[in-house]
């Protein structure tokens, strides 16, 4: 996360500067404070290392939905809701390490592709035609950007660089989190607690794929397409329906009640806290393996196909569940494709559909306050019906 973010940020190495400020502040008493500090530091991920994705025990539904979104970002992101202390944010933050690399225009603050770059530059006032061949590219890891609850709107959308204005009186645009997240992941922990005005901004940008900022007579417009990942505990508050609808997938996560698994979780956590580097090394092979598998699936995806029969069954399923609009069908189709690709298969079958139906549809069912049946069960019931019919034919 750290590495991806700082590489996406234009004015180099702001974070290290910030860290230094703190050290200086505490300087006078630093020697004596060392024991407490050291103890605290060893406990948390002060090392800057995130807990490895492949070391996370259980919670397969969440892991799968994140992976499928890497394989096909058009799935539309994932909302992870569930119990406290079940590793939601740990998992999302671990994602960065297994993400593939992408090409972007060299040093571009918006992570643009050549096409996006050319289009953007052509829109500018007094634009000169740029020769596509002259555009230099560089490889960066897919960015994962963390949007904290306390973020202000100008930092999310971007604003005029205050420092430059002060020192040189120049108005320069300073890109916000949306710019950094272009072509990557935007993660919001406790998304159900996000301030209304930020939700408005997100909905707007997610719908158009563009971010527009007008300030101090400067008008900036840049692409902002990202995979939206949110997590939260439903007991702390409900999510706004429009925002809920934006998420392609909805993963549920509950407390693991298997003792052996829980012992394993504790053990891994302690090993990691004790020596993060050694722990990372231990899981390095698996991390690399997963990364390769994802990359392979991405390559395979365009050649994955789906028969009309499967498509019909999907349509039937959505109809029987009374899902409005076509976003349900579309999501399920894309997700099943990505799932097939991840399994290394070129043909989408009903098994793939079955695996992802709950993820895709759970949050799209019409809500009935007196319904006692859980959304997942309802989907499974309808799925069984459709499958039964298919077999009977």
Partner 1 sequence: MIAFTDIVGMDLAKKALMLLAIDPALGGVVIPSAVGSGKSTLARAFAGILPEGTPFVELPLNVTEDRLIGGVDLEATLASGVRVVQHGVLSKADGGVLYVDSLSLLDSSAISHIMDAMSRGEVLVEREGLSEVHPADFMLVGTYDPTDGEVRMGLLDRIGIIVPFTAQNDYRARKEVVNIVTGSRDPEDVRDELRMMAGFLDAAREMLPKVGITPEQVQALIQTAISLGVEGNRVDVFTVRAALASAALNQRSDVDDEDMKLAIKLVLIPRATRMPEREESAEDMPPPEEEPPPPDEESEEEDDSQQPDSPDADAEEEQEETPDMIEELMMEAIETELPDNILNISLASKKKSTSGSRGEALNNKRGRFVRAQPGEMRSGKVALIPTLISAAPWQEARKRDQKMAGRQKTALLISKDDVKIKRFRDKSGTLFIFMVDASGSMALNRMRQAKGAVASLLQNAYVHRDQVALISFRGKQAQVLLPPSQSVDRAKRELDVLPTGGGTPLASALYLGWETAKQARTKGITQVMFVLITDGRGNIGLQSSFDPNAEKPSKEELEKEIEALSLSIQADGVAATVIDTQMNYLSRGEAPKLAQHLGGRYLYLPNAKAEQIVDAALSF
Query: Taking CB under 8 A as the criterion, which residues in 257-276 touch partner 1?
Result: 257, 259, 262-263, 265-267, 269-270, 273
Q: Interhelix angle for 276-300 vs 327-342, to 10°?
A: 110
3-state helix, strand, coil in the chain (%, to 5): 60, 15, 25
Q: Which positions from 273 through 332 interact with partner 1, judged by CB under 8 A?
A: 273
The least CB distance from residue 118 to partner 1, in Å, is: 28
Q: How far is the CB of 183 from partner 1 (least distance, A)?
A: 19
Rounded to the nearest 10°, the torsion over CA 274, 279, 280, 286 is -150
Judged by CB under 8 A, the residue of 24, 40, 101, 384 near partner 1 is 40
In the complex with partner 1, the residue whose CB is nearer, 60 or 115, is 60
Q: How far is the CB of 111 from partner 1 (least distance, A)?
A: 16
Number of residues that bind partner 1 (CB under 8 A): 89
Whole-angstrom distance, CA of residue 274 vs CA of residue 195: 37
Secondary structure element (H or E) that encloses residue 79, with its range:
strand 78-82
Binding string to partner 1 for residues 357 to 386, with x set by CB under 8 A, is what? ----------x-xx----------------
Q: Which stretch binds partner 1 (CB under 8 A): 79-87, 279-287, 301-309, 345-353?
A: 79-87
Q: How far apart are CA 97 and CA 66, in angstroms?
A: 13
Strand partners, 79: 230, 250
Residue 34 touches partner 1, criterion: CB under 8 A: yes
For partner 1, the closer of residues 101 and 170 by Cβ is 170
**Segment interacting with partner 1 (CB under 8 A) among 110-118, 140-148, 305-313, 332-340:** 140-148
- Nearest approach, Cβ of 86 to partner 1 (angstroms)? 6
124, 171, 346, 351: residue in contact with partner 1 (rule CB under 8 A): 171
Residues numbered 174 to 203 that lie near partner 1 (CB under 8 A) are 174, 177, 189-190, 193, 197
Alpha helices in 301-364 (DSSP H): 308-320, 327-342, 350-361
Placement of tokens 């580097």 in the chain: 277
Q: How far apart are CA 375 and CA 361, in angstroms?
A: 9
260-293 residues labelled b (16+ CB within 10 A) or e (exposed): eeeeebeebbeebeeebeebbeebeeebeebbeb
* x/- track of binding to partner 1 for residues 199-238 (CB under 8 A): ----------------xxx---------------xxxxxx
| CA–CA gap between residue 98 and residue 101 (Å, rounded) | 10
Measured from the CB atom, the residue of 168 and 284 that comes closer to partner 1 is 168
362 catalytic? Reply is: no
Within 10 angstroms of residue 257's Cβ, the number of other Cβ atoms is 7
Site string for partner 1, 83-122 (x = CB under 8 A): xxxxx-x---------------------------------
Pairing between β-strand 78-82 and β-strand 249-253 as defined by DSSP bridges: parallel
Which residue is catalytic, options 9, 221, 327, 381? 327
Known catalytic residues are 327
């Amino acid at each position: 996360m750290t590495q991806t973010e700082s590489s996406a940020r234009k004015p180099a190495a702001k974070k290290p500067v910030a860290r230094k400020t703190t050290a200086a502040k505490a300087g006078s008493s630093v020697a004596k404070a060392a024991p407490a500090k050291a103890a605290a530091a060893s406990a948390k991920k002060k090392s800057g290392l995130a807990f490895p994705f492949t070391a996370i025990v259980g919670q397969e539904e969440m892991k799968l939905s994140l992976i499928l979104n890497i394989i096909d970002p058009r799935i539309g992101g994932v909302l992870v809701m569930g119990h406290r202390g079940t590793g939601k944010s740990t998992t999302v933050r671990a994602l960065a390490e297994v993400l593939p690399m992408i090409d972007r225009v060299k040093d571009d603050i918006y992570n643009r592709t050549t096409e996006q770059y050319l289009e953007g530059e052509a829109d500018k006032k007094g634009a000169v035609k740029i020769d596509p061949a002259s555009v230099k590219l560089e490889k960066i890891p897919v960015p994962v950007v963390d949007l904290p609850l306390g973020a202000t709107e100008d930092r999310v959308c971007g604003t005029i660089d205050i420092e430059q204005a002060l020192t040189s009186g120049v108005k320069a645009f300073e890109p916000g989190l949306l710019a950094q997240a272009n072509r990557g992941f935007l993660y919001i922990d406790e998304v159900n607690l996000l301030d209304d005005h930020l939700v408005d901004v997100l909905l707007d940008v997610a719908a158009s794929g563009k971010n527009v900022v007008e300030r101090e007579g400067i008008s900036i417009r840049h692409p902002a397409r990202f995979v939206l990942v949110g997590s939260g505990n439903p007991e702390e508050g409900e999510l706004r329906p429009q925002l809920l609808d934006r998420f392609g997938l909805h993963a549920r996560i509950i407390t693991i009640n298997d003792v052996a698994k829980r012992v394993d979780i504790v053990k891994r956590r302690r090993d990691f806290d004790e020596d993060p580097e050694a722990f990372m090394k231990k899981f390095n092979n698996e991390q690399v393996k997963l990364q390769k598998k994802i990359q392979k699936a991405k390559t395979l995806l365009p050649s994955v196909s789906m028969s009309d029969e499967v498509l019909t069954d999907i349509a039937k399923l959505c109809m029987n569940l009374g899902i409005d609009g076509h976003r349900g069908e579309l999501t399920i189709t894309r997700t099943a494709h990505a799932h097939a690709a991840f399994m290394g298969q070129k043909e989408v079958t009903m098994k793939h559909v079955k695996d992802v139906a709950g993820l895709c549809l759970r949050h799209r069912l019409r809500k009935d306050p007196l319904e006692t049946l859980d959304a997942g069960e309802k989907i499974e019931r309808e799925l069984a019906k459709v499958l039964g019919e298919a077999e009977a034919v």
